Amino acid sequence: MSGHRDGHGFVLRDDGEPDIYLPPNEMRAVLHKDRVKARIVRHDRRNRPEGRVTEIIERSPNPIIGRLLQESGVWLVAPEDKRYGQDVLIPKGGTGTAKTGQIVVVQLTEPPALFGQPVGRVTEVLGEIDDPGMEIEIAVRKYGVPHEFSEDALALARALPDAVRPADKQQRIDLTDIALVTIDGEDARDFDDAVYCEPAKVGRGKGWRLLVAIADVSHYVETGSAIDIDAYDRATSVYFPRRVIPMLPEKLSNGLCSLNPNVERLCMVCDMLVNAKGEVHAYQFYPAVMFSQARLTYTEVAAILANTRGPEAAQRQAVVPHLLHLHEVYQALLKERGVRGAVDFETTETQIVCDEAGHIEKIMPRTRNVAHRLIEEAMLAANVCSADFISQSKHTALFRVHESPSLEKKELLRNYLKASGLGLTISDDPTPGEFQQIALATKDRPDALQIHSMLLRSMQQAIYTPMNDGHFGLAYEAYTHFTSPIRRYPDLLVHRVIKAILKKTKYQLPVLPTPGEAEAKLSKRLALRVRVPSEKPKKASADQLAWQAAGLHCSANERRADEASRDVEAWLKCKYMREHLGEEFGGVVTAATNFGIFVTLDAMYVEGLVHITELGGEYFRFDEARQELRGERTGIRYAIGTRVQVQVSRVDLDARKIDFRLVHEGEDRAGITSRAMRDKSGGSQAELSLQERGADSRPRSGAAGRYAQADSARARGASGKGGKSTKTGKAGSGHQDGGAAARSPIEALKKAVKKSAANPGRKPGKKPRR
């Protein structure tokens, strides 16, 4: 069978079957993302299929990003992405203008072999590792995020007008006298939605007229144009701290298509009548021209709604009545959301605040106020109307689909709820209301965090697809994305389809590029989620296949953007925590695995690993049903929500990993603190060299070394076998599941002899009976 080598010792199979594990000796001749054929030779004790590479089908064309080093007169590049596993040799003259220690981009000239390293040449010098924004430069290349527009796209953007022209207003509704306003965050630069609300009679009762106006990007970005090709390639804008890589050129995203205040802008409007129950009684779509009356922030609107006589309201007197009407319709929509049974879990998102040099000043939670929720409900209503409008017309388009939990996730959640003794569970075919009912019933419990976390983990990821299977989490029969065409390509496609329906024509997708690796990988994962149809499916037409390809492309690139953003945030957090090595913090357990617990610090919202070897000198059993680690001797339990005190013991910037050490009362902390402070100040030259090389590329002792191996399993979703016992001790001690600490053979022999002398009736290394 064929598949991709993923860099963690696995071949990701194309046929939807379980992935194949490759032993280290089988990985020397292949690199991360290479396409290979493999043969299963046996199953290991965990019943994982173990294989051997029989053929290398295709080498990955992606360049490698890493740090240029010189060792014993030999130039080499240590890859920043540790999944590559090997350094790249650079021949004399292949370094270009790069200097030792700089971050460079390398193109391979010779692939690796069983007895030879890969060879390459430097094609681009990114700069020094501590240069401001370097983490973003690395991420966009590491994940293949397009970050430069084509010359054709830029030329086309320059040729666009600077303002709305009289010809652009033809066959549009004039809404310039309507008090539409934008409500966004303080740091927002593009405004793609505006809202307005007024009381209206709906049927025989009270109601509201709600207008959601969205920037008409499709008027300026024609199907198949140079800008459209670049936008499709990106599929979404990518948001990093202090920088955005937009889907559209800046002239469009921040200018002509941004609903800036006090200027005319073209828009597509969803005009709705909402009754007192919060139900959309009627709606219509039409192109319009608008004039934003104000650019408001969430903080400002929340303050106005809280006190209509306050200073914020005094400055915005003209729009205060309309904001109050928006709040009224929001409360009605919220009531309908409860009747519908939509899932609504409160989660904490973090915001990284940087200074001018790009260094983190603080990490703080993003707080959602009533204004956030108000805009969210208005956008949901417009998206639902869009999906209904497209469905009623029988036109093909991309829906935003969120499927119900898989059989495996439902079973895991049921076992957890049963083990927790809550007296609550979910049915075989659960509704979103069942999840919401459990969330509401447990919100005041001490273990609410753990329960809500398990509910959230049981959910699937939403995707874009032309097959409307509804949105489970939001409890909608049909849902799509209409409200953000500046930053999401599926929204732009939805706008084009709605316009085609209004004109009584059919929108035809342009000829799209062949789906790439990310789409193929996602398609394989999605194949596992397809339900067995009750009847033989009809053969898909060419048009449907094209829409399916577009959905896969947009879904895969959405994930790519999320991964790149998380990578940059992890890098910044690691760099920030290097300044806090040796310091102690309170935190809460946010995940439990068979190799340790992940703890999020209270004050900094940074997550790190307390490896199982740092939990104490006893056996710990991972209970998969309860999602906790429990000590067999003391009965101490570490589960989601458990409060702990930890010390920052190690930070690996290259691997984006932070290690914590559990702090016990009354212990002597001088040793670990002195080691941490030595690391903080740079340590010895030997230690510094190891850090520069990327410590994950060499064997390490102690908890951090095993973390690098165990965390790869966590990244693939492995949770270990329930009921497995693991022996723990001080940092650097042995670990039963294969992570033995680095120890010389002589030391090991001495220890075995001492054990034998102390226990003459027992063979060395054999455990006493319990």
pLDDT at 693 over 80: no
Altogether, the residues listed in the chain come to a count of 770
Considering only residues 357 and 297, tell me which one the structure prediction assigns the higher pLDDT: 297
**Range scoring the smallest mean pLDDT among 372-376, 505-509, 758-762:** 758-762
Of the pLDDT bands very low, low, confident and very high (cuts 50, 70, 90), residue 115 is: confident
Q: What pLDDT does residue 314 have?
A: 94
Answer with the residue of higher pLDDT: 12 or 701.
12
Residue 411 has pLDDT above 60, yes or no: yes
- Among residues 590, 594, 591, the alpha carbon closest in space to that of 619 is found at 594
pLDDT in the model for residue 674: 55
How many other CB atoms are there within 10 angstroms of residue 533's CB atom? 7
What digits encode the pLDDT tens for the residues 616-626? 888 999 988 88
Query: What per-residue confidence (pLDDT) applies to 52?
Result: 84
- Which residue has better confidence, 732 or 644? 644
In 3D space, the residue among 6, 494, 486 whose CA is nearest the CA of residue 259 turns out to be: 486
The reported pLDDT for the residue numbered 719 is 35
Confidence of residue 739 (pLDDT cuts 50, 70, 90): very low
Q: Band of the pLDDT at 630, cuts 50, 70, 90?
A: very high
Residue 641 DSSP one-character state: T
Q: Which amino acid is at 4?
A: H
pLDDT band (50, 70, 90) for residue 713:
very low
Question: If you search the block for the tokens 């965990």, which residue do you land on?
Answer: 46
CA–CA separation, 596 and 245 (whole Å) = 36
The four Cα atoms 278, 279, 283, 288 give a dihedral, to 10 degrees, of 20
Q: What is the pTM of this model?
A: 0.82
**What was the pLDDT predicted at 518?**
52
* pLDDT tens per residue, range 71-97: 988 999 999 888 888 899 999 889 999
The rounded distance, in Å, linking the Cα atoms of 230 and 253 is 14
Tell how far CA 361 is from the center of its chain.
23
Q: Which pLDDT value is given to residue 680? A: 55
Measured distance CA(174)–CA(265) in Å, rounded:
11
DSSP 488: B
pLDDT at 284: 98
Average pLDDT score, the chain: 83
104 token code pair: 């460079």
Question: Can you give the pLDDT at residue 485?
Answer: 97
Position 709 pLDDT exceeds 50: no
- Spatial separation of the C-alpha atoms in residues 301 and 378, rounded to whole Å: 15
**pLDDT tens sequence across 544-572:** 888 998 999 999 999 999 999 999 999 99
Q: Give the torsion through C-alpha atoms of 474, 479, 480, 482, to 10 deg.
A: -80
Residue 45's CB: how many other CB atoms inside 10 A? Answer: 5
Q: Find out whether 734 and 726 touch, Cβ atoms under 8 Å.
A: no
Q: Pick the residue with more confidence: 115 or 338? A: 338
Tell whether the model's pLDDT for residue 725 goes beyond 50. Answer: no
CA distance 216 to 486: 9
Stretch 218-244: mean pLDDT: 94
Q: Which two tokens stand for residue 11?
A: 């071949």
Each residue's pLDDT tens digit, 14-63: 555 667 877 777 778 888 888 888 888 888 777 778 888 888 888 888 89
Dig out the tokens for 526 from the structure. Answer: 């999605």
List the structure tokens of 148.
């430069």
Highest mean pLDDT among 129-138, 314-323, 692-701: 314-323
* pLDDT at 705 (0 to 100): 33
672-681 pLDDT per residue, tens: 555 555 555 5
| Most confident by average pLDDT, 330-334, 528-532, 688-692 | 330-334
* Percent of the chain predicted with pLDDT > 70: 80
Q: Say which residue, 474 or 513, is predicted with more confidence.
A: 474
Q: How confident is the model at residue 761 (pLDDT cuts 50, 70, 90)?
A: very low
